[in-house]
Amino acid sequence: MMQSIGNFDRALRDEMQRTRTELMAMLGQNRKELNNRLIQLNKQLNNDFARNRRELSDNLASLTAQINTDAASNREELRQSLDAFTTTVNNRLTSLDTNLRTSLENLRQQNEEKLTQIQQNNETKLEEMRRTVDERLQTTLETRLASSFQQVSEQLDRVHQGLGEMQTLASGVGDLKRVLSNVKNRGVMGEIQLSNLLEQILTPEQYVINFRPFKRREEIVEFAIRLPGRDMDAESLYLPVDAKFPIEVYERMTTALEGADVEEITLRRSELDKSIRTCAKQIRDKYINPPLTTDFALMFLPMEGLFAEVMRSPELFETIRRDYHVIITGPTTLTALLNSLQMGFRTLAIEKRSSEVWKLLGAIKTEFGKFGDVLSRTQKKLQEASNVIESANERTRVIQRKLRNIEELPHEEAQDLLELNQESESPIEDASFPSALFADDETSG
């Protein structure tokens, strides 16, 4: 029994040894076959990978070339469009600048010619008026003096013709003396004559009746001529005019002249000078109040004979003008002075209209400065457009880097997918396509 078990055990071991040997042989053969198959599969995979790499590289190179070509075409078209737009804008701005300069130069020349013509006309008219006033003044003085002496001579002849006529004349002179001896009546006569002259020459808006030079005092001057300010908004300036009529002193002077007594004439002339000085002092103290009034006033003598007698003494006229700032006038000289003032008013109105022309030119200059600001803003916009183009170029380069590993689609399929219409879109609109792709790429990333 034990021997049988030992034989069985040896037989079993031998069988297991043979089985192991066979299994080892089979495993070695299977390993060789598997190794050969793996080598073949590796070679096939390497060949497939190399072929796929070459195809992918070729596709990416073709896509890159197409993108570069399209980007270059877009940049060239956009550059040409911007160059054409810049040229058009520059031409229009140059034309507009030339037209504006021409218009402004023509306007300036026209204004200068008109102002020169107005100035020449004013100078001519003023010179003619001055000559006319001098001629009329000289003629009037000579005529009035000759007429006065002739009338006196005729009256004296008539006095000597009969006692009755002399008595009648004496009675009339007495009545006139009684009227003129009243200061109030003499003042009313002078005021009436002065009022008539002002009404004939000036408009009611150019003078004031019963003007008060001092707001807190009671003095009132019969008339004040309103002188307009040089500026539009300046207040008016007033020229006081007061009528004086020292008839008693003038009559005594006339009597002395008729008597041909030199001492009496000298005495009465001194008395007349003193009376005129007193009147001038009253006018200065009561009616001159700069800046409401002018720094001088006018004394109106209602009789040409009285005025001529006062003007016989140039020193008296100059002293009153210098010390009391009063100018003595008679009916004729006041008329000439008022006419001169009226012409001055018209000249001032012309000057004011000229200032309006200068203001208009100033407004045109201001608008032209605004036009320069518009040009600056246009230049800024062009610079911004150039910056946008540069940004588009940068984004195109970014897109090229992003699309290196993407397979290129056929051209028609790409157009259908992206809904492009090259015939209807402008180069500037096409230039926005890379920005849109870049934005989509950034969003997806």
pLDDT 10s digits, 158-189:
656 655 555 555 555 554 454 444 444 444 66
Residue 287 has pLDDT above 80, yes or no: yes
Per residue in 193-222, pLDDT (tens digit) is 888 888 888 888 888 888 988 888 888 888
Residue 32 has pLDDT above 50, yes or no: yes
Per residue in 114-126, pLDDT (tens digit) is 888 888 888 888 8
Residue 429 has pLDDT above 50, yes or no: no
Give the closest residue to 241 by CA, choosing from 328, 305, 321: 328
In a domain, 254, yes or no: yes
In a domain, 205, yes or no: yes
Total-model pTM: 0.40
Please state the domain count of the chain: 1
pLDDT of residue 422: 47
Tell me which DSSP letter residue 293 carries.
B
- The tokens describing 198, both together, are 């002002």
pLDDT of residue 240: 92
pLDDT of residue 51: 87
Quickly count helices (H) and strands (E) in the chain: 10, 5
pLDDT of residue 162: 57
In a domain, 55, yes or no: no
- The tokens describing 290, both together, are 């700069």
In a domain, 146, yes or no: no
In a domain, 178, yes or no: yes
In a domain, 274, yes or no: yes
Percent helix, strand, coil in the chain, to 5, is 80, 5, 15
In a domain, 139, yes or no: no
Q: Which amino acid is at 284?
A: R
The boundaries of the domain holding residue 335 are 162-362
Q: What is the CA radius of gyration of the chain?
A: 60
Look at strands 221-227 and 237-243 and give their pairing: antiparallel
Residue 444 has pLDDT above 60, yes or no: no
In a domain, 323, yes or no: yes
- The tokens describing 271, both together, are 């008395």
